[in-house]
Amino acid sequence: MQRLAGNHPISGRASSGEAWYVSLVRWAPFLGMTLPVVAGAFAGWLIPRGPVTTPQALSSVALALVVGVAVGYLTGSRWSMLVAPLVYQLVFELVRLPTDGLTVDGIHVGGGLYGVLAFALGRVFPALLTLVPLWAGVVFGIALADHLDGEAAGRPGTAWLVSAGVMLLGLAWLAIVISRPAATAPILDSAGSALAGSVAELVDVPIGGHDQALLVRGRDVTNPVLLYLAGGPGGTDVGAMRRDVTLEQDFTVVTWDQRGAGKSYAALDPTDTLTVDRLVRDTVEVTDYLRQRFGHEKIYLVGQSWGSTLGVLTVQRHPELYHAFVGVGQMVSQRATDVMFWEDTIEWAAGTGAARLADRLRRNGAPPYVDVALYEPVVAYEHDWNAYPAFDVDNEMPAILMVPEYTFMDRINAFRGFLDSASVIYPQLQNLDFRVDATSLDVPVTVVLGEHEARGRAVPAREWFELLAAPSKRLVTFDGAGHRANFDSPGRFAELMREVRDGVDGSSLTAPLGSNPAGAR
């Protein structure tokens, strides 16, 4: 890989008496190959999950290109086109070994969709932003060295140069896409101007020592405040909440991307401080921020799926902060839910001839699992064995990510957050059962279930509701809806929240929802 000192471009600067220049030239190839070592170690320390934010992504492309040009220029060898990226990636992987999460753990591509997705997000995508510009830079660096030498023997062929150029053009286009900032549209009056007294903003707030993202929208800042907790763990519903603005008519609606999720994915580390208790305290901090900002003594708390778990734990600890709690797709016992999902998936697989899936589930045994990746076959087939006519894929990822409130990196991080946060939080939920741990709450409680909610969630939710003691409680079923009933039937949910706001409540499992004409029960 080392070139003759007299043939290296910088050798032209040296006279026969300048031995240090000759030494520099002699060692230039080795100095060049230290650059990917240093770059890989620095990246593994600074951004062990790969580029996470927009500035990190753009900086990674630019710095990798610069490092690549320097490596190619100093080594002047075609071998560096292969060695430099390999060295960079090896050092990067070694340095980030202590980092936890499915996207950075061992490769699970044989473990199903989650494993493939984790590999793509944790290794393929970062490689696109680092290894590709690094390789292209090496090609151009070698060409530059040979041009300054006046030789053609070591110069990359035309095909290599064209390939590197095409890659750089592709990266330039990707950089433009990545650079687009997030924004939320203003709420307009009848004249098309921003409505006086309304609020529509994306804001990062320091919560629990980390900046975390809030989408705040409402037609009148004097309206009651509604804090929405997304499912997951690690889920983001900013896009889903933007699909229907009905709630914004009566509430200042605040959608929070919890730590490690979606727009708050950058706050994930250190994962040893990401606990259920910490997320409860984060919820209280967000609540206090909203109470102070909008001047309300109490706010409304709505949680969907995992968000309903977080919501119950929060109102249990601090009921004085909330007018009421509404749990949609209410979770009660993650372990009980997973076991019933495991049973229902096996039954469906055996009945439809999916013998390999059934065998795989039986071989894994019933949950819980130490390896979070083993949950993939348990939960991934829900909409196959629990199909319903009104299921709308536009209420799910990736469709909900196609709104301007997300940057390109937010969309990538939405999937990363789901995989990495779940691997940290999910094991912490296995011994939690509200039928034992939360049989009394000191706020009015409304539980919303979809008509087609899976057995594994509906059964524990109804059992918990029967046991629950609260100032008032109500269980409402939305006809035609599933686990995400608030998004399947947003108009019905907005009407329900108006009734909650107005103090309408009931205790019957099947009582009509006041004068609701939409068919909820």
Q: Tens-digit pLDDT profile for the chain (521 aa)?
A: 444 344 444 444 445 446 554 555 566 777 888 999 999 999 999 999 999 999 999 999 999 999 999 999 888 888 899 999 999 999 999 999 999 888 998 776 556 788 888 999 999 999 999 999 999 999 999 888 877 765 444 567 788 888 889 999 999 999 999 999 999 999 999 999 999 999 999 999 999 999 999 999 999 999 999 999 999 999 999 999 999 999 999 999 999 999 999 999 999 999 999 999 999 999 999 999 999 999 999 999 999 999 999 999 999 999 999 999 999 999 999 999 999 999 999 999 999 999 999 999 999 999 999 888 889 999 999 999 999 998 999 999 999 999 999 999 999 999 999 999 999 999 999 999 999 999 999 999 999 999 999 999 999 999 999 999 999 999 999 999 999 999 999 999 999 999 999 984 443 333 333 333 333 43
**Residue 190 class from Cβ within 10 Å (0-12 exposed, 13-18 middle, 19+ buried)?**
exposed
Instruction: Tell whether 205 is covered by a domain.
Output: yes
Instruction: Tell whether 357 is covered by a domain.
Output: yes
**Angstrom distance (rounded) from CA 62 to CA 134:** 9
Choose one of 345, 379, 413: the last residue of a domain: 379
Instruction: Tell whether 514 is covered by a domain.
Output: no
**Angstrom distance (rounded) from CA 505 to CA 508:** 10
> CB–CB of 29/84 below 8 Å?
no
Which token pair is 207? Answer: 């919560």
Do 497 and 404 have their domain in common? Answer: yes
Q: Which long-range contacts (CB under 8 A, 24 or more apart) does 359-362 make?
A: none
> CB–CB of 132/167 below 8 Å?
yes
Do 297 and 353 have their domain in common? Answer: no
Q: Taking the chain, what is the end-to-end CA distance rounded to the nearest angstrom? A: 75
Residue type, 43: A
Give the pLDDT score at 514: 36
Which token pair is 515? Answer: 């004068």
Do 49 and 171 have their domain in common? Answer: yes
Do 255 and 280 have their domain in common? Answer: yes
Do 57 and 96 have their domain in common? Answer: yes
The pTM of the full predicted model, rounded to 2 decimals, is 0.90
Residues 398, 399, 400, 404: is their CA dihedral positive or negative? positive
Strand, coil or helix: 474: strand
Domain that holds residue 263: 199-332+392-501
Give the pLDDT score at 25: 58
**Angstrom distance (rounded) from CA 416 to CA 397:** 12
> CB–CB of 152/78 below 8 Å?
no
Do 307 and 414 have their domain in common? Answer: yes
Give the pLDDT score at 73: 87
Do 476 and 406 have their domain in common? Answer: yes
Residue type, 158: T
Instruction: Tell whether 115 is covered by a domain.
Output: yes
Number of domains present in the structure of the chain: 3
Do 306 and 444 have their domain in common? Answer: yes
> CB–CB of 410/262 below 8 Å?
yes
**Residue 89 class from Cβ within 10 Å (0-12 exposed, 13-18 middle, 19+ buried)?**
buried
**Angstrom distance (rounded) from CA 112 to CA 245:** 36
Residue 215: DSSP 8-state: E
Q: What is the CATH number of the domain that holds 413?
A: 3.40.50.1820
Choose one of 347, 379, 411: the last residue of a domain: 379
Instruction: Tell whether 42 is covered by a domain.
Output: yes
Strand, coil or helix: 228: strand
Do 221 and 261 have their domain in common? Answer: yes
- For 112-258, strand residue ranges (E) read 199-207, 210-218, 225-229, 252-257
Give the pLDDT score at 158: 82
Give the pLDDT score at 491: 96
Do 313 and 426 have their domain in common? Answer: yes
**Angstrom distance (rounded) from CA 428 to CA 439:** 20
The torsion angles phi and psi of 425, rounded to 5 degrees, stand at -85, -40
> CB–CB of 72/29 below 8 Å?
no
Residue 446: DSSP 8-state: E
Helical axes 80-95 vs 54-75, angle rounded to 10°: 140
> CB–CB of 450/421 below 8 Å?
no
* Nearest by Cα to 487 from 233, 184, 200, 242: 242
Do 295 and 258 have their domain in common? Answer: yes
Instruction: Tell whether 145 is covered by a domain.
Output: yes
Instruction: Tell whether 187 is covered by a domain.
Output: no
Give the pLDDT score at 202: 98
Instruction: Tell whether 192 is covered by a domain.
Output: no
Do 163 and 39 have their domain in common? Answer: yes
